[in-house]
Amino acid sequence: MLAQDDPHWRLTVVDDRSPQDARAWFDTLDDDRVRYLRNPENLGLTGNFNRCVDLVEQDLAVLMGGDDRLLPNYVRTVRARHAADPAAGIIQPGVRVIDRAGRPARTLVDEAKRRIYAPRGPVALAGEDLAVSLLRGDWLYFPSLAWRADVLTSVRFRRDLGVIQDLALLMELVLRGVRLVTDDTVCFEYRRHAASESSATAFDGSRFTEAAAFFADTASRLADHGWPRAARVARRHLSSRIFALTMLPRAVRHPAGLAALTRHVLGR
C-alpha cells in the first residue's frame, strides 16, 4: 500500500486474533492512512469478512487477503475505471498469479479461468449473462475486486458457508442487478499456495459438499427469478465437478474426502 503511485487510499488491517499482536510494528509506519485493529476474539473467516464490511468508510473498498500483493498502480487503475463507469458496482482489474515465494505461477485452475471462463477484453456484465458467466466457472479473483461501497455494505457473507461464500455473495448481488466491469491492466498479484483455506477443504471433501448444496439452492433461486439458462448452469456446475475430478488422485490418502469428491464429480 505504501508503494501506491496514487496517494488516495486508506488501509485498515483487521487482525483476527492471530498469535502475535502486530500493533507495535504498524505503529512504526507513522502513516495516518494506516490503522491496525485487533479483534477481541477470533471471528473466523466469514465473521472477519463481515467485520471488514462493517468498517468500510470510503466510496470504493477492497477486501484484500493477508498473503496477496498490490502492485503500485492498483489504486490508480481501479479509481480510473470507477471514474469512467461510476454506476458499476464491482471492478475486476488485471491479476497476476504468484506462488508461495512470490514468483509468477501457472496452475490448471488459473489457466482454465484465463483461457476458458474469463471474457475477452474489458467488458461490462449484468443480469442473467453475468450469472451464467460466473456459474460456468468463477473466473474472478475475489481479493482483487474493488467494490462500490454502497453495494458491498448492502450484503453480508453467509455464515453457513466456509469456502464458497465469495461466489454466494456475488450471486446475491447479481440477482439485485449489480453490474460488473473488468480492466485488463495488471495491478494485483494473487498468491496461490496449498496452505490456503480453499485448498485444505478441497482435500477433505468439505469444499465440495458445501458447493453441491450451494449450487442446488442457487439453481432453485435462479429458476424462481425467471433466469432458466442460469438455473441450468448452476444445476450442472460442470467446472466445479471437473475441478473435483482433478483433485481425486491427491485425495487417495483421505478416504472421507475421496468419497465426497467422487459424489461431487458424479453430480450426486
Residue of 37, 104, 35, 43 lying closest to 69 (CA atoms): 104
Q: Supply the pLDDT for residue 12.
A: 97
The CATH fold of domain 58-193: Spore Coat Polysaccharide Biosynthesis Protein SpsA; Chain A (3.90.550)
pTM of the full structure: 0.89
pLDDT in tens, 88-134: 999 999 999 999 999 999 988 889 899 999 999 899 999 999 999 99
pLDDT in tens, 43-87: 998 999 999 999 999 999 999 988 999 999 999 999 999 999 999
What residue segments make up the domains of the chain, in order of their start? Answer: 58-193, 198-265
The more confident residue out of 17 and 241 is: 17
The more confident residue out of 260 and 212 is: 212
- What CA–CA distances, in Å, run from 120 to 92, 169, 184, 238? 13, 24, 9, 21
CA–CA dist 101, 191 (Å, integer): 9
Average pLDDT, whole number, for the chain? Answer: 90
Residue 212 burial (CB count, 10 A): 19
pLDDT in tens, 170-205: 999 999 999 999 999 999 999 997 655 455 555 556
CB neighbour list of residue 14: distance below 8 Å, 6 or more residues apart? 37, 39, 48, 51, 52, 55
Q: Supply the pLDDT for residue 197.
A: 46
Q: Are strands 124-125 and 180-191 parallel, antiparallel or unpaired?
A: antiparallel
Q: What sign for the dihedral angle of Cα 152, 230, 199, 146?
A: negative
Q: Is the pLDDT of residue 40 over 90?
A: yes
Q: Supply the pLDDT for residue 101.
A: 92
Residue 208 burial (CB count, 10 A): 26
CB neighbour list of residue 26: distance below 8 Å, 6 or more residues apart? 13, 34, 36
